[in-house]
Chains A and B, each alone.
Chain A
Amino acid sequence: DIQMTQSPSTLSASVGDRVIITCRASQSINSWLAWYQQKPGKGPKLLIQKATSLQSGVPSRFSGSGSGTEFTLTISSLQPEDFATYHCQQYRSSLPTFGGGTKVEMK
């Protein structure tokens, strides 16, 4: 199985901050990586697919980069509605796997 490692597991930030979350794959997944946002009591929401492609309706302050084994999700200016947990997922292998999640909390 491909292991996905996210860091940090928790991130304290303030409104307006630039936030960067990292996801590392145990082997190359090319660009087959998605990012999801999850709020308490809700299912995840797809933000980015193919490592860099923003889903329709997702604010442009969100961006993804990377390929191979190293990926990042950047929020350019954190907004109040962005406090949530973020998950990465590889979908290259027959068994898709997720990172452990990064909780973005208020500083």
Chain B
Amino acid sequence: EVQLVESGGGLVQPGGSLRLSCSASGFTFNNYAMIWVRQAPGKGLEWVSAISGSGDGAYYTDSVKGRLTISRDSSKNTLYLQMNSLGADDTAVYYCAKSDCGDIGCKLVDSWGQGTLVTVSS
């Protein structure tokens, strides 16, 4: 059974940084692209970033380019999202998600974590 468990969320001041982690199990981690999706309070889901199974390709939505960095550690079966220069618009539940294949172009999400809340506020 696929399991995705996020951690690292919390309260951070505007301009601050946070690193989210996602521990993955139940599948061969290197074989699948991984994704971060967020949901702001009262809003719909938003695709944030994705990384290929091999880690050599990454994608970011425009609003986070230059501030958020996705990475993965195959030795730990863990996905990361380094978040810098955070603003109020980044307040959201962040979900770790697994794609259905390994390429960066794989965009069907077949498994989701439970999410971790990031609140940007002074």
Interface, chain A (partner B; CB < 8 A): 34, 36, 41-46, 49, 55, 87, 89, 91, 94-101
Contacts and interface: CB of A to CB of B under 8 A. Distances in A.
A84 B118 CA distance: 23
Q: Which 4 A-B residue pairings sit nearest by Cβ, starting from the closest?
A: A43-B112, A91-B107, A98-B45, A100-B44
Contact of A34 (B61, B105, B109, B111): B109
Contact of A46 (B44, B110, B114): B110
Contacts, number: 47
A64 to B, nearest CB: 14
Contact of B112 (A41, A45, A55, A91): A45
Contact of A95 (B4, B47, B109, B110): B47
Interface in B21-67: 43-47, 59, 61
Interface centre among B4, B43, B112 (most CB of A within 10 A): B112
